[in-house]
Amino acid sequence: MSDTFLADLVVVELGERLAVGLCGGLLQRLGAEVWAVEAADGDPHPESRSAHRALLDAGKRAVAGKDALALLERADVVITSSDWRSGAHAALARAAGRAPVVCDVSAFGTSGPLAGERYTDSMMQAYAGLVDTTGNPDAAPVASRVPIAESSAAVYAAAGVLAALRGRRKSALPHRVEVALFDTAVSMLSTFLPTHFTGGSPRRIGNRHPSMSPWNTYPARDGWVLLCSASDDMWGRVCEVIARPELKSDPRFARMAGRVANAEAADAAIRPWIAAHDVSQCLDAFNAASVPCGPVYTIAEVLADPSLHALDALCSIEDTLPGKRIVVPGRLVHGAPAQGRLPAIPRKPHSDSGAGACDAPLQRTCPPTPPLTREAQGVLSGVRVVEMGSYTTAPLAARNLGALGAYVVKAEPPAGELSRASPPYRDGQSYLCTISNSDKRSVAVDLRTAEGRALFDELLARADVFVENMKPGALARFGYAPEDLARVYPRLVYCSVSGYGAKSPIADRPAMDATIQGRAGVMDLTRGEGVPFKTGVSIADLVGGQFALLAILAGLEYRERTGKGQFIDLSMQELSAWLTQIYWNAPVASAAGSVLPCEDGYLYVETASPTAAMREATRGKSRAEALAILTARGLRCVPVRSVSEVAAHPQTQARALIVDGLTREGRAWPLLACPIRLDPFPAAVRRALGGVGEDLDEVVRDWGLETGSPARSKARG
């Protein structure tokens, strides 16, 4: 029988931010006992926690009044939102502050010129550059209804809580976690910032790819189809499917560079065939030709998806109203031997009488420990990590583990991981790759050779964590199946991130960020003029990396308690669908407002139906002028800021969200700070990645490797 990742941990939610409820839900799924402090004066705003109470309370207990005060005195962790509280929550703030671990999720954090300002998720998406990355370049930017800033902040907050719990074993000092939506949003701009760093102006590109074509969304007879052609061979197969073989030799399209330059013409050649077929017919044809593709699911189709049901990603429970049922997220983190916990029926709030308020014994799980010493470093100091990943998911998790103090070795193929080829470059090195791989040491590992496998074995034998984002089964071909690693390295926490998860019926299909966004319902909720768009920031990739960080920290907690390692299987589709959960049940008010054009850009207004008077107020005006007019009328609005504006913003500078890191040769590169702020063990980003394999000598010394000798681990059968 499987165990949960966390045990004997009592968490209390105290705040109105959606992220507070989402964070508590993640900790509940990992095994914590979570209590939600209910407030009669909760905020009904559609982006607040109170507006989605039935959904967010799944698996939690509710508490109110005097019982809440008594509970706070015995809680291990309190999750709060200092910038968005009800009166009832504010009255309990002093007691909440005495908890061993306090995690505060707010819009801007507690420092910088905007500290304390209460922005909603949709306002933050506009202000922090996310909206400006979404939509076609020759049209207005598109606001997503998906609460991606709140959701990402919630995952980082849950990870921060687990990091702080580890810190409690190092120091008895109070531990404080701070996650700001603004910081989180800036950290998601990694694919756009390289253009800014090289003097350009980052631009949205709709559903296209900057260096591959055809790559777009096309209308079919009964929906939309995503097509992602990543090579000349794939283009040839596309031509065969659409019965236009002559296009293979068309000089405009014969090579990738030509197709990118003539992307509109390539799309025009494809559209008629797709428009004449149903979505299912298109998918069958392109999948048979091994061309990556996918549907743009509506939320109803997401809830019926066989892949999600195979993973138990959806759970039907009784609502707080008798006789009614709602759909909520399932376990999310699939481990072995540990498992996530399914949610149960929420418990009604207790009265102020005190009777039965805490019917289970509540003990703080972090006993007093020696005080912090000068020698103490990051909260993960002493943890060794091996990462074998490309682009975003595994590299994102590993780079944050490095910022938290872990020693991270990036095991790359001799030619380097795939993002090393991504422009723009400086001195032959990719900005994207460098930004995505801070605080790591590169070692070249060729699993096709005996020497490469021996080196890999030595690394795994000394590692605490292994994280990768390969296609399920890719490592098994070299003898590194999950069951092999569990047998040979029983204390290893192994996290695998893939498009659909190893147990999905479509596990072997190619998965790109765009196809995952389509299958998860994200694109259905991100529409401009009826056209579904992927979010400009690669949210499916990003949430996969964020959850990998959380899952790895949970795996380390489980090992701390049991001495056992872990295999964790994460599905990007399941995790991306989690982003859309507030739309799974009864229709809710739109969580996105409107983007209105101004003379120098766009203004975001927190209303889904702007009036003619509002549009007139922005016409011919600068953003600052329009903002002053509409704010005076009582409307909540913010400028839609560009990526470059966000990079140079005083809040970005005050929070040190973009920092300089040095390679081992002393070259400085701009890097992104970790969005998790911890006290007394602060995260720190210091080191920039250098060339492929250039850190082998350092790793050999620090890890005590015997490079080139036979593997010292047990032989495989």
Q: Where are the beta strands (DSSP E) in 583-644?
A: 594-598, 601-605, 637-640
Share of the chain above pLDDT 90, in %: 86
Average pLDDT over residues 573-584: 97
User: Mean pLDDT of all residues in the chain?
Assistant: 92
**Alpha-carbon Rg for the chain in angstroms:** 25
For 17-27, how does the pLDDT look when each residue is reduced to its tens digit (9 = 90+)? 999 999 999 99
Given this model, what pLDDT does residue 2 score?
62
Average pLDDT over residues 507-516: 92
Lowest pLDDT segment from 121-125, 507-511, 578-582, 678-682: 507-511
C-beta separation of 350 from 356 below 8 A: yes
- What is the full DSSP assignment across 48-72? BSGGGHHHHTTT-EEE-HHHHHHHH
Given this model, what pLDDT does residue 674 score?
98
Given this model, what pLDDT does residue 707 score?
72
Average pLDDT over residues 78-98: 94
Query: In what order do the strands lie in the sheet containing 223-228?
Result: 215-220, 223-228, 293-295
For 560-572, how does the pLDDT look when each residue is reduced to its tens digit (9 = 90+)? 999 999 999 999 9
- Work out the pLDDT band at 373, boundaries 50, 70, 90: very low
CA within 13 Å, CB half, 649: 23
Share of the chain above pLDDT 70, in %: 92
- Work out the pLDDT band at 590, boundaries 50, 70, 90: low
Instruction: Tally helices (H) and strands (E) across the chain.
Output: 27, 30
Lowest pLDDT segment from 30-34, 256-260, 273-277, 588-592: 588-592
Q: Which residues, 6 or more positions from 201, have their beta carbon under 8 angstroms from its beta carbon?
A: 195, 642, 644
Average pLDDT over residues 670-693: 97
Given this model, what pLDDT does residue 281 score?
97
244 exposed, middle or buried (CB, 10 Å; 0-12, 13-18, 19+)?
middle
- What is the full DSSP assignment across 391-414? SSHHHHHHHHHHHTT-EEEEEE-T
Is residue 369 over pLDDT 60?
Answer: no
| 629: its two tokens | 């007019």
Number of other residues whose CB lies within 10 A of the CB of residue 91? 13
Q: Where are the beta strands (DSSP E) in 562-635?
A: 566-571, 594-598, 601-605
CA 17 to chain centre: 18
Average pLDDT over residues 334-357: 65
For 628-640, how does the pLDDT look when each residue is reduced to its tens digit (9 = 90+)? 999 999 999 999 9
Dihedral (Cα; 207, 209, 212, 218), 10-degree rounding: 0
- Work out the pLDDT band at 708, boundaries 50, 70, 90: very low
684: phi then psi, degrees, rounded to nearest 5:
-145, 130
Buried b (16+ CB within 10 A) or exposed e, 290-309: ebbbbbbbbbeebbebebbe
For 405-445, how does the pLDDT look when each residue is reduced to its tens digit (9 = 90+)? 999 999 999 999 999 999 999 999 999 999 999 999 999 99
Is residue 217 over pLDDT 80?
Answer: yes
Average pLDDT over residues 710-716: 38
- Work out the pLDDT band at 322, boundaries 50, 70, 90: low
Is residue 356 over pLDDT 50?
Answer: no
Is residue 688 over pLDDT 60?
Answer: yes
Number of other residues whose CB lies within 10 A of the CB of residue 165? 23
3-196 CATH choice from 2.40.100.10, 3.40.50.150, 3.40.50.10540, 3.30.70.580: 3.40.50.10540
Q: How far apart are CA 408 and CA 9, in angstroms?
A: 29
Identify the sign of the CA torsion 60, 545, 689, 202: negative
Average pLDDT over residues 324-337: 94
In the chain, domain spans = 3-196, 231-291, 594-647
Given this model, what pLDDT does residue 496 score?
98
- Tell me the three-class secondary structure of 497-556, residue by residue: EECCCCCCCCCCCCCCHHHHHHHHCCHHHCEECCEECCCCCCHHHHHHHHHHHHHHHHHH
- Work out the pLDDT band at 211, boundaries 50, 70, 90: confident
Residue 535's identity, in one-letter code, is: T
Is residue 404 over pLDDT 50?
Answer: yes
Given this model, what pLDDT does residue 259 score?
95
Q: How far apart are CA 473 and CA 600, in angstroms?
A: 51
The conformation of residue 372, written as its DSSP 8-state character, comes to P
The H or E element that residue 696 is part of is helix 696-703
Q: How far apart are CA 582 and CA 146, in angstroms?
A: 9
Given this model, what pLDDT does residue 159 score?
98
Between 713 and 54, the more confident residue is: 54
Average pLDDT over residues 311-321: 86
Average pLDDT over residues 457-476: 97
Is residue 495 over pLDDT 70?
Answer: yes
Q: Would you please indicate which residues are annotated as catalytic (active-site) residues? A: 541
Given this model, what pLDDT does residue 365 score?
42
